[in-house]
Amino acid sequence: MFPQHGCQSDVTTLYLPGLFLGEVRTARDCVGCVLSREDPDICSTATLLTSELATNALIHGDTRNTACPKTGLLTDPRPFSVTVGLLAREIDVVVSGKGAHYAAPRVRRNRAWDEDGRGLAWVEALATTWGTYGDQESRTVWFSLDRTTAATPG
């Protein structure tokens, strides 16, 4: 869900079956297409953060999901959706997928040699605001980017 702002927004939602790791690229490309007329920095940030959240939706949960190295086929299908909302002052991206029995996702402080675990740290660092909600059935992670701080040409 998007925060209430008292204005009409343009909303695009993409539903993906969660069968292949390559669906992360599909989600990223969709967000990039929706934001193609936005400031390039905002578009780049939104696509990067979408990649991280889509990867989390496919890979993380109660058990770590794995993909075939050759085909990208996931062991456990995890359908998910990506919604992009264009508001007057901000862009909201919402990624929803399968829930988990354990607590909500949180930012981890990793060591330099850790191979994963940086995605939510990037979201925390680059998004204007972000959050998560959900339960055992579904989990949603969202972020907002401020459109008003984009560099103006000139």
- What's residue 150's pLDDT? 58
Could you state, in order of their start, the residue ranges of all structural domains in the chain? 10-146
> What pLDDT, in 10s, does the model give residues 6-45?
555 699 999 999 999 999 999 999 999 999 999 999 999 9
Res 124 pLDDT > 70: yes
Contact yes or no for 84/91 (Cβ under 8 A): yes
Q: What is the 3-state secondary structure (H, E, C) of 14-49?
A: EEECCCECCHHHHHHHHHHHHCCCCCHHHHHHHHHH
- What's residue 6's pLDDT? 52
What mean pLDDT value characterizes the chain? 85
CATH topology classification for 10-146: Heat Shock Protein 90 (3.30.565)
- What's residue 60's pLDDT? 83
Alpha carbons 83 and 69: distance in angstroms, whole number: 28
Token pair for 86: 């264009």
- What's residue 107's pLDDT? 55
Res 104 pLDDT > 80: no
